[in-house]
Structure 1
Amino acid sequence: MLVVRPAGPADIDALLDLAFLSGKGFTSLPEDRAVLTERLALSEQSFARDLPASEAWYTLMLEDTATGSIEGVASIKGGVGLHRPHYSFRVMTLAQYSSATGTRFDHQALVLVNECTGASEVGSLFLRPRKRQAGAGSLLARARYALIGANAGLFAPTIMAELRGWFDERDESPFWNGIAGKFFRLPFEDADRMITATDGQFILDLAPRHPIYLELCAPSAREAIGKVHRHGERALAMLEDEGFTRSGLIDIFDGGPTVTATRDHIRTIRNARSLPVQAGKVEAQANERLSLVANPGLAGFRAVLTPVRIGEGALILPEETLAVLGARPGDILTVS
């Protein structure tokens, strides 16, 4: 059975392996053992409530209980942009009109903004290729919302997600090559690494302070604006299914879209029910939609996709599923 659980320092080798598999542009999973070790320590502190809620960064692992192998990772940041500004580009229309010539022009432009300050962020969703079927991605993605919904006071009213931008068949970012890279004068890989390995001062120092008129940019760069990476299309579809919508913001490096949702309106959170659990037989029906069941604590958080039976105000689960969730009869679990 696949289960989502909190990550800890012992997961470093698996997390580093996932980082190498994730490829170029997956900023939140740098191929850097020291950075990822620090990330796991931060996650352990976050789940132990040893940090202010806004500074917490929760990392979740997707584990196959039959083999003990780690098949995926996801994360939630309690708050973004509170110490270091969280920069994005907003696509804006700038209108110009001349009464002398009777001419009006509407120009599309990129403007540097930091509008996401204080929002909580879901991200770092990555699965091993062999697990990108049979609901594993849905389990990992929705487990984040189950954790947020069960501990709503630890998270902001607005939840955001940034998706990796478009890379061409040569694994190059047209947006970086045509727009962003002209300001930073660094290889994409170096700038990408510096986001997580430094305090980000170089962004503040070098990012453009004036609107960038898109008519002056290469067509390939313009076409990449707001376009999601081919490997992120399924992630975008799942976010939209939960109620996330495009915000008009894009990533300043690769042009990928930012989507947002109101925390309590996210579908998994909105539809969740809290019920006492009982052990019993549950028979899966053909074509039955599996339910997300979570043990809603923080340090003891667990989530699985499973057939369920609800009767007499209680959630019925097989004993083996209870064991995977770390729950006992009478415990309150959430189901959605």
Structure 2
Amino acid sequence: MMVVRPIQEHDGPALRELARKTGPGFTSLQDNDRQVQQKLESALAAFNPDEVPEEALYLFVMEDTDSGEVVGICGVEAAVGLSDPWYNYRVGTLVHASRELKVYNQINTLTITNDHTGYSELCTLFLSPDARHSKNGSLLSKSRFMFMAEFPQRFNEHLIAEMRGYSDENGVSPFWEGLGRHFFSIDFTQADQLSSMDKVFIAELMPKNTIYTNLLPKDAQEAIGKTHEATTPARRLLENEGMRYTGYIDIFDGGPTLEARLNDIRAIQDSRYVKIHIDSTLEPEGELYLVSTTGFTDFRCCMTPLTAVGNHVVTLPAKVAEALNITEGSTVRVVPLSSGRRF
């Protein structure tokens, strides 16, 4: 059974191994010892129950309870851009018109902004290729919503998620080649690695003036707001939960930024508290639900069918209760795994 839980110090080697698999453009978890160690240290510091830091990185791992193997990672930044600047492009429109010449042209533009400063961010979602089945990706991604529903005071009322932008089979980003390279004179992979460690150079080198997209190469224009093939399922999942593309893109690869108000997320809005009854003979079948515990450092989330047996009481298989570390009568938070369903 798969369970999502807060990362712990002994998960360091597993986190490093996942970082080796992410590939180009995955800014938040790269094949870099220093970045991985900093991320682990930041996450361990965030899970302090006595403090509610303005900036915190909450990292979670997906563990196969049968084998003990860590197969996935996901995270939430409590607030972005407070210590280091948070940059993206806002896609806008300018109209150039002349009645005398009977000309009317709408031209897309890119303007560098810090509009999402202070927002919470979904980040660092990666599932090992061997574990990409049985709705494990949905569990890994949506488990974060259950944590945010339980501890809303730790997050901003606005939430964003940067989607990895399009790159070809060789890892080349046409958006970067058509725009960023002219100002940085380095490869996309190198710029992406640098941005994950230090964003100061972005402010120093990026153009401050509005950019007309029709002056970019055609393939760069077509990459604006386009999601990497491997990230498209994650984008659809978040859109089904209520997040939307509103015209902001990543300054390196042109990938879309999705956003929503926290309370408008389906899994947060529809989740409910129930008490559990444990049945060791129950064979799980039927619709899948997210089930999460109410603890902070011992937060856990898994997916399973469940059976309602009374007012705010559900029956869970013993194996699920064991994975969640809960006992008879415990209170848990539940919500249907899929959008369009209600509990």
Q: Above 0.5 in TM-score?
A: yes
- The residue that corresponds to 1:227 in the other structure is 226
Q: Distance in 1 between matches of 2:175 and 2:50?
A: 39
Q: Distance in 2 between matches of 1:191 and 1:250?
A: 16
Higher mean C-alpha displacement, 318-327 vs 26-35: 318-327
Q: Among the aligned pairs, what percent are the same residue?
A: 35
1:201-246 Cα deviation digits (max 9, x unpaired)? 1011111101111111100100111000000011011001111111
- The DSSP-based 3-state class of the residue aligned with 1:181 is helix
- The residue that corresponds to 2:259 in the other structure is 260
Q: Distance in 1 between matches of 2:288 and 2:28?
A: 30
Q: Distance in 1 between matches of 2:255 and 2:12?
A: 28
1:52, distance to aligned residue in structure 2 (A): 4.0
- The residue that corresponds to 1:237 in the other structure is 236
Gap change, CA 1:51 and 1:222, over 3 Å in 2: farther
Gap change, CA 1:92 and 1:13, over 3 Å in 2: same
Q: TM-score, normalised by structure 2?
A: 0.93
Q: Distance in 1 between matches of 2:308 and 2:287?
A: 14
For the 8 Å contact 1:181–1:253, the answer to whether it is kept is no
1:51, distance to aligned residue in structure 2 (A): 5.3
- The residue that corresponds to 1:92 in the other structure is 92
2:287 equivalent among 271, 277, 289: 289
- The residue that corresponds to 1:217 in the other structure is 216
**In the alignment, does 2:183 pair up with 1:183?**
yes
**In the alignment, does 2:169 pair up with 1:169?**
yes
1:267, distance to aligned residue in structure 2 (A): 1.0
For the 8 Å contact 2:29–2:35, the answer to whether it is kept is no
Gap change, CA 1:50 and 1:194, over 3 Å in 2: farther
1:107, distance to aligned residue in structure 2 (A): 1.6
Q: Distance in 2 between matches of 1:28 and 1:13?
A: 17
**In the alignment, does 2:321 pair up with 1:308?**
no
Q: Distance in 2 between matches of 1:86 and 1:296?
A: 32
For the 8 Å contact 1:53–1:155, the answer to whether it is kept is no
1:11, distance to aligned residue in structure 2 (A): 1.2
CA RMSD of aligned residues (A): 1.4
For the 8 Å contact 2:23–2:30, the answer to whether it is kept is no
Q: Distance in 1 between matches of 2:101 and 2:288?
A: 64
Q: Distance in 2 between matches of 1:191 and 1:63?
A: 32
- The DSSP-based 3-state class of the residue aligned with 1:13 is helix
Within-5 A mapping of 1:1-336:
1-49=1-49, 52-98=52-98, 101-198=101-198, 200-280=199-279, 281-285=281-285, 288-313=286-311, 314-336=313-335
- The residue that corresponds to 2:340 in the other structure is none
Gap change, CA 1:268 and 1:282, over 3 Å in 2: farther
1:115-138 Cα deviation digits (max 9, x unpaired)? 111111112111111111111001
Q: Structure 1: which 5+ runs fail to align?
A: none
1:9, distance to aligned residue in structure 2 (A): 2.1
One-letter code of the match for 1:309? T
1:288-325 Cα deviation digits (max 9, x unpaired)? 22110001221010000111112223122122221211
Q: Distance in 2 between matches of 1:50 and 1:37?
A: 24
1:158, distance to aligned residue in structure 2 (A): 1.0
Higher mean C-alpha displacement, 184-193 vs 119-128: 184-193
For the 8 Å contact 1:146–1:296, the answer to whether it is kept is no
Q: Distance in 1 between matches of 2:166 and 2:99?
A: 40
- The DSSP-based 3-state class of the residue aligned with 1:54 is coil
1:155, distance to aligned residue in structure 2 (A): 0.9
1:17-41 Cα deviation digits (max 9, x unpaired)? 1111110000000211222122112
For the 8 Å contact 2:283–2:317, the answer to whether it is kept is no
Higher mean C-alpha displacement, 117-126 vs 184-193: 184-193
For this pair of structures, how many residues does the alignment match?
A: 333
Q: Distance in 2 between matches of 1:273 and 1:234?
A: 26
1:96, distance to aligned residue in structure 2 (A): 2.4
1:50, distance to aligned residue in structure 2 (A): 5.9
For the 8 Å contact 1:9–1:37, the answer to whether it is kept is no
Q: Distance in 2 between matches of 1:316 and 1:284?
A: 10
Gap change, CA 1:41 and 1:266, over 3 Å in 2: same
Higher mean C-alpha displacement, 135-144 vs 4-13: 4-13
- The DSSP-based 3-state class of the residue aligned with 2:143 is helix
Higher mean C-alpha displacement, 220-229 vs 88-97: 88-97
1:196, distance to aligned residue in structure 2 (A): 2.0
Q: Distance in 2 between matches of 1:151 and 1:310?
A: 25
One-letter code of the match for 1:327? I
